[in-house]
């Protein structure tokens, strides 16, 4: 039994059809949806790009991505059947003829399907092309029907507040907000959506989810990999823009939001925007005490010698590969509870973890000698690679005496459920096809996140990081990040 909605007939155009994202994520996600019976009965996937592929050559190309990255491989037969619906259009984003050709493909699909299809344009393209593509799509007339036409915008959504506002303004010139799906793939992860279920489908946790009981919150999104061959993009971005502005602030919003009235898209997004708006704005002089940046030097990662960031990108650069920030949320629920977040590349492990650290029990009933190991309650929400939740509480150790010991109660997705978790992109693309924008970022959310970080971005741009590189590949980040949390008497929980 499930309540998965079957999408209406759909044609999906993938700008950047032969690019990395299409290969690693988009085509494998669509194939998995199809294998699981969750694609529309009638659909077409059209890769767009300048490379002169035929349909068959394109299908061979994306087959490599499926072999390397797909959750399920299917069989030769299933792949052949799926790819009957996969096409390629040699196109140039600057050329009107390409948009006319897309228009013709839609008309043909409508005739073949016997129904007007939903038309999805997935913009998996370099940020520099975004304005041109949006304008061309808007002016081409192929998006006339707002009910059926949707735009999927991949990150980065802008480079700063100004460019994000400009992109939103341009999008709104041609499209309604309901047609725009800004992707943050973290929201497609089951364990992230589970934060809402954990908080709002249970009675136990919400009454204590506030500053009376919670001492502080930590969010760590660490990666053991370096930037590899993504240096061209990454060096213009850095950890704050690449991870904190989107994924980390989205996690924080889920943890901190007020209970929504319903699971309706705008209701959820309103509550998230409330959090971002309540977050304390940094004054210039507050930044050194509240934000730390780092860049990795060479070191050892997972037992192997790893290059430093400068060697990887081939130039001396001020781009940060690590960022840690202490945030405050100025509202009734969170007043006085610091939220420490950090994200970095070339850290010891890949781990996305949220820690809710509770205060100590107000009164210690048990004699001190029995309670030497007592530790305050803690909820750990594992997003990846482990997915699940752990709750730490005290127990009595077995024996004639009364000795206390902290233990953990664990929920783990893979141990509890036999169903495989879909990849984030499967959930998100299915949501686009069924017009559910709950897990996508609204324009005001994106802008609020940029607005919050702009003072740090500006401060870092104006002040050189003289200590770069300041952490060794494979270590837990720069020393000042430890000081950031230690100044409040806490430490990062790994």
The β-bridge relationship of strands 296-297 and 299-301 is unpaired
| Options 185, 247, 430, 459, the catalytic residue | 247
Q: Mask of contacts with ligand BG6, 139-178, x by CB under 6 A?
A: ----------------x-----------------------
Structure tokens at 457: 């971005």
**Residue 344 CB, nearest approach to ligand BG6 (Å):** 11
Q: Which of 352, 427, 443, 475 binds ligand BG6 (CB under 6 A)?
A: 352
- What region does 336 belong to: left with phi over 0, alpha with psi -120 to 50, or beta? left
Looking at beta carbons only, is 384 or 438 nearer to ligand BG6?
384
Looking at beta carbons only, is 384 or 405 nearer to ligand BG6?
384
**Residue 386 CB, nearest approach to ligand BG6 (Å):** 12
Please answer whether residues 355 and 233 qualify as being in contact, where contact means their C-beta atoms are separated by less than 8 angstroms. Answer: no
Looking at beta carbons only, is 211 or 384 nearer to ligand BG6?
384
**Residue 62 CB, nearest approach to ligand BG6 (Å):** 20
Residue whose Cβ sits closest to ligand BG6: 242
384 lies in the binding site for ligand BG6 (CB under 6 A): yes
247 is catalytic: yes
HSE, CB side, 13 Å, CA atoms: give it for residue 267.
8
Which residues, numbered 463-482, are part of the site for ligand BG6 (CB under 6 A)? none
Calculate ∠ Cα 226-228-231, nearest 5°: 100
223 lies in the binding site for ligand BG6 (CB under 6 A): yes
242 lies in the binding site for ligand BG6 (CB under 6 A): yes
Please answer whether residues 151 and 160 qualify as being in contact, where contact means their C-beta atoms are separated by less than 8 angstroms. Answer: no
Please answer whether residues 5 and 434 qualify as being in contact, where contact means their C-beta atoms are separated by less than 8 angstroms. Answer: yes
Structure tokens at 385: 């690679």
**Residue 352 CB, nearest approach to ligand BG6 (Å):** 6
Please answer whether residues 451 and 280 qualify as being in contact, where contact means their C-beta atoms are separated by less than 8 angstroms. Answer: no
193 lies in the binding site for ligand BG6 (CB under 6 A): no
Report the first-to-last Cα separation within the chain, whole angstroms. 38
Calculate ∠ Cα 419-421-424, nearest 5°: 155
Q: In whole angstroms, what is the distance from residue 445 CA to residue 274 CA?
A: 9
Q: Mask of contacts with ligand BG6, 311-350, x by CB under 6 A?
A: ----------------------------------------
224 lies in the binding site for ligand BG6 (CB under 6 A): no
Q: What are 411's strand-pairing partners?
A: 389
Residues within the interface to ligand BG6 (CB under 6 A): 155, 223, 242, 352, 384
* Residue positions annotated with a catalytic role: 247
């Amino acid at each position: 039994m499930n309540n998965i909605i079957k999408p209406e007939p759909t044609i999906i155009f993938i700008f950047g059809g032969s690019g990395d994202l299409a290969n690693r994520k988009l085509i494998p996600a669509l194939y998995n949806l199809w294998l699981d019976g969750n694609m529309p009965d009638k659909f077409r996937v059209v890769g767009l790009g300048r490379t002169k592929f035929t349909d068959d050559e394109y299908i061979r190309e994306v087959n490599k991505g499926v072999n390397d990255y797909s959750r399920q491989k299917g069989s030769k037969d299933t792949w052949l059947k799926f790819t009957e619906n996969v096409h390629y259009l040699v196109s140039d984003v600057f050329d009107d003829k390409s948009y006319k050709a897309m228009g013709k493909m839609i008309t043909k699909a409508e005739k073949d399907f016997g129904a007007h299809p939903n038309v999805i344009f997935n913009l998996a393209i370099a940020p520099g092309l975004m304005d041109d593509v949006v304008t061309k799509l808007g002016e081409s007339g192929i998006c006339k029907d707002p009910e059926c036409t949707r735009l999927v915008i991949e990150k980065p959504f802008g480079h700063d507040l100004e460019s994000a506002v400009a992109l939103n303004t341009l999008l709104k010139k041609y499209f309604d907000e309901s047609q725009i799906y800004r992707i943050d793939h973290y929201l497609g992860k089951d364990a992230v959506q589970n934060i809402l279920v954990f908080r709002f489908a249970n009675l136990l946790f919400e009454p204590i989810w506030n500053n009376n009981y919670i001492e502080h919150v930590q969010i760590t999104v660490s990666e053991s990999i370096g930037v590899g061959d993504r240096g061209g993009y990454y060096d213009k971005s850095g950890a704050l823009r690449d991870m904190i502005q989107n994924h980390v602030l989205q996690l924080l919003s889920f943890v901190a939001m007020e209970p929504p009235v319903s699971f309706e898209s705008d209701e959820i997004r309103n509550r998230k925007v409330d959090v971002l708006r309540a977050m304390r704005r940094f004054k210039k002089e507050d930044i050194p005490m509240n934000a730390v940046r780092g860049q990795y030097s060479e070191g050892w990662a997972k037992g192997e010698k790893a290059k430093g960031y400068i060697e990887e990108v081939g130039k001396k650069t001020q781009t940060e590969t690590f960022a840690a920030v202490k945030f405050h949320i100025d509202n009734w629920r969170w007043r006085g509870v610091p939220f420490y977040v950090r994200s970095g590349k070339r850290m010891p492990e890949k781990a996305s973890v949220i820690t809710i650290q509770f205060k100590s029990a107000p009164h210690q009933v048990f004699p001190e000698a029995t309670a030497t190991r007592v530790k305050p309650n803690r909820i750990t929400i594992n997003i990846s690679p482990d997915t699940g939740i752990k709750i730490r509480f005290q127990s009595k150790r077995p024996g004639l005496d009364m000795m206390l010991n902290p233990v953990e109660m664990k929920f783990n997705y893979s141990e509890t459920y036999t169903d495989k978790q879909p990849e984030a992109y499967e959930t998100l693309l299915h949501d686009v096809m069924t017009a559910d924008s709950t897990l996508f970022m609204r324009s005001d959310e994106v802008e609020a996140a940029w607005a919050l970080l702009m003072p740090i971005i500006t401060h870092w741009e104006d002040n050189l990081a003289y200590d770069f590189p300041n952490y060794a590949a494979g270590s837990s980040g720069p020393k000042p990040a430890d000081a950031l949390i230690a100044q409040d008497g806490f430490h990062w929980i790994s």
